[in-house]
Amino acid sequence: MKAWKIDKIALSYSPMNKQPHNPFILAIKAYNLTVEIHHHSAYQIVLSDDAPFISTIRGQLCEQIYGFIIKPQVPHFCVAEKGALNVLNIEPYSGIGLYLSGLFPRDKDHIVFKSTSEAKAFFQADTPDIYAFINALLSKLPEVKQDERVDILVNYIKANYFEQNITPQTFADMVFLSPSRLAALFKKQTGSSLSKYLLWTRLRQVIYLALTDKDRSLTDIAYDTGFYDLPQLNKYMYEMFGMPPKALKHNSDLIQLY
CATH label of the domain that carries residue 14: 2.60.120.10
What digits encode the pLDDT tens for the residues 58-109?
999 999 999 999 999 999 998 877 878 888 999 999 989 999 999 999 899 9
Q: Provide the pLDDT for residue 251.
A: 59
Q: Are residues 58 and 23 in the same domain?
A: yes
Rounded Cα gap, residues 200 and 177, in angstroms: 23
196 belongs to a structural domain: yes
Q: Are residues 90 and 179 in the same domain?
A: no
Q: Which residues neighbour 231 within 8 Å (Cβ) at sequence distance 6 or greater?
A: none
Containing structural domain, residue 212: 148-246
Q: Are residues 134 and 166 in the same domain?
A: no
Q: Are residues 125 and 231 in the same domain?
A: no
Q: Are residues 130 and 29 in the same domain?
A: yes
Q: Provide the pLDDT for residue 257.
A: 39
154 belongs to a structural domain: yes
Last residue of a domain, one of 139, 158, 177: 139
Q: Are residues 121 and 96 in the same domain?
A: yes
Q: Provide the pLDDT for residue 36.
A: 83
Last residue of a domain, one of 139, 174, 201: 139
* Strand, coil or helix: 6: strand
Q: Provide the pLDDT for residue 15.
A: 36
Rounded Cα gap, residues 231 and 227, in angstroms: 9
* pLDDT tens for the chain, residues 1 to 258: 444 444 444 443 333 334 434 679 988 888 776 778 899 999 999 999 888 999 999 999 999 999 999 999 999 998 877 878 888 999 999 989 999 999 999 899 999 999 999 999 999 998 888 888 888 998 888 887 889 999 999 999 999 999 999 999 999 999 999 999 999 999 988 888 999 999 999 999 998 888 888 889 999 999 999 999 999 999 999 999 988 888 777 655 633 333
The CATH number that applies at residue 225 is: 1.10.10.60
Q: Are residues 36 and 157 in the same domain?
A: no
Torsion of CA 247, 219, 12, 173, to 10 degrees: 150
Report which DSSP code applies to 140.
T
Q: Provide the pLDDT for residue 87.
A: 87
Last residue of a domain, one of 89, 115, 139: 139
